[in-house]
Chains A and B, each alone.
Chain A
Amino acid sequence: DAGVIQSPRHEVTEMGQEVTLRCKPISGHNSLFWYRQTMMRGLELLIYFNNNVPIDDSGMPEDRFSAKMPNASFSTLKIQPSEPRDSAVYFCASSSSGRETQYFGPGTRLLVL
């Protein structure tokens, strides 16, 4: 079992640039989550997909953030334009259903200069 795969693992970009984070959930899992981790706010749920459909995007900070899940094995989180306050670790997690245990990927460490 490869676990949840995220890329890139590290991203450094300049303010105003577009950033795309990628996630491959565990095969067979139909629920996918994007989280953001910061020292100030801890772990925050950004968006939850079930069967590739966004169910809850109430945690997405603002219109600069968007997420897609075109198929069961791939999701993206895009920030456009990026700002320094977006610097954080972004985690993707998946579960076999929305109510089951969530398994986390290694995270993408984003630094916006």
Chain B
Amino acid sequence: GEDVEQSLFLSVREGDSSVINCTYTDSSSTYLYWYKQEPGAGLQLLTYIFSNMDMKQDQRLTVLLNKKDKHLSLRIADTQTGDSAIYFCAESSGTYKYIFGTGTRLKVLA
């Protein structure tokens, strides 16, 4: 079946850039999403990218998509302690079914 993989943990220092990576297997993926989950909270949509795009930038967030390698990354510039959370990658082939990764726990050290 389709799968989305992420590394489990990432630790960075405040002010540095964070890069969270994701790989997926579905070659028919149309939309790729990044969600953020803070402790005790729901999933907050951060950004998404269409599969016909290579890059999308939104303030401190930059999403890069390598469709050939089925690799998606989320770069957070100037990482702050408030960015500490679990980040989920998800893909959809344009239907209601999202395939979520296991989530990457980002810890920002002051």
Chain A residues in contact with chain B, CB under 8 A?
Answer: 4, 31, 33, 42-43, 45, 48, 50, 55-56, 91, 93, 95, 98-99, 101-107, 109
Contact = CB atoms under 8 A, between A and B. Distances in A.
A97 B40 CA distance: 27
Contacts of B92: 99
A113 B54 CA distance: 48
Contacts of B88: 43
B87 interface: no
A104 B44 contact: yes
Given A104-B43, A107-B41, A42 B100 contact: yes
Nearest to B88: A43
A43 B100 contact: yes
A99 B44 contact: no
Interface string B62-86: 0000000000000000000000000
Q: SS class of chain A's interface: helix, strand, loop or mixed?
A: strand
Interface residues of B, number: 21
B96 A48 contact: yes
A103 B96 contact: no
Interface of B: 31, 33, 35, 40-45, 48, 88, 92, 94-98, 100-103
B97 A45 contact: yes
B41 A102 contact: no
| A4, A43, A103, A107 interface centre (most CB from chain B within 10 Å) | A43
A103 B101 CA distance: 17
Contacts of B42: 4, 91, 104-107
Contacts of A93: 43
Contact of B45 (A43, A56, A103): A103
B48 A98 contact: no
A104 to B, nearest CB: 4
